[in-house]
């Protein structure tokens, strides 16, 4: 008799346990917050549309050598090619290094740069910093550089330090007037130099 009672209880439990499990799962689904697809998709769609509209390259790097043997290395955080603008690129967080054949090393940094291959130039803007191994550190708002030759121009005001002291000027240029000739860093338009003998001693 006990065996029959035990068998009936086991049979009931086999039916009861699945029902309890089903009830628990139903409760979980009822209590859980429904996830709206619209909460996630708009961000993904926006990102996709931006990438479709503007071709983007993350972490681009370019290096080359000019006809005079000057080495150029260019890197950026991101490079964008706006739609409908052939040969035009906009770079963000730009870093460029120029190793001149005469031994001078130059570094250029800027928040962004517009690169126009058709005009063979790059226009750097936003906290532009010009640094040279000869002791110059110059800041400006805008700097224009050729891509295939050494010709760097700052058409606006510049300020910074040099081997002899503090410098301010209305414009600045870095060029080699003659092919293979000496590179010249020239300050123009209201140049002011505050001479500091201690820098000369260093």
Tens of pLDDT along 71-83?
A: 888 888 888 876 6
pLDDT band (50, 70, 90) for residue 183: confident
What pLDDT score was predicted for residue 31? 44
Tens of pLDDT along 185-199?
A: 999 999 998 987 665
Residue 181 has pLDDT above 80, yes or no: no
What pLDDT score was predicted for residue 132? 92
Residue 24 has pLDDT above 80, yes or no: no
Mean pLDDT across the stretch 40-61?
59
What pLDDT score was predicted for residue 52? 46
Tokens encoding 161: 């330090």
Lowest mean pLDDT among 26-40, 113-127, 136-150: 26-40
How far lies 84's CA from each of 28, 55, 115, 117, 124, in Å? Answer: 52, 11, 15, 14, 22
The CA distance from 202 to 198, in Å, is: 6
């Amino acid at each position: 008799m006990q065996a029959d009672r035990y068998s009936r209880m086991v049979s009931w439990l086999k039916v009861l346990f699945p029902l309890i499990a089903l009830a628990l799962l139903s409760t979980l689904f009822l209590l859980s917050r429904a996830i709206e697809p619209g909460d996630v998709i708009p961000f993904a769609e926006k990102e996709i549309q931006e990438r479709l509209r503007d071709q983007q390259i993350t972490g681009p790097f370019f290096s080359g050598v000019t006809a005079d043997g000057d080495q150029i290395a260019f890197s950026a955080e991101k490079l964008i090619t706006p739609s409908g603008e052939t040969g035009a690129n906009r770079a963000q967080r730009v870093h460029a290094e120029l190793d001149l054949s005469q031994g001078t090393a130059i570094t250029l940094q800027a928040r962004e740069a517009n690169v126009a291959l058709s005009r063979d130039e790059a226009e750097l803007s936003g906290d532009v910093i010009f640094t040279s191994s000869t002791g110059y550190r110059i800041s400006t708002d805008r700097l224009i550089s050729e891509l295939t030759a050494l010709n760097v121009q700052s058409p606006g005001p510049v300020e910074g330090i040099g081997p002899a002291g503090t410098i301010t000027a209305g414009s600045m240029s870095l060029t080699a007037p003659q092919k293979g000739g000496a590179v010249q860093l020239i300050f123009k338009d209201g140049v002011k130099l505050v001479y500091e003998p201690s820098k000369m001693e260093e």
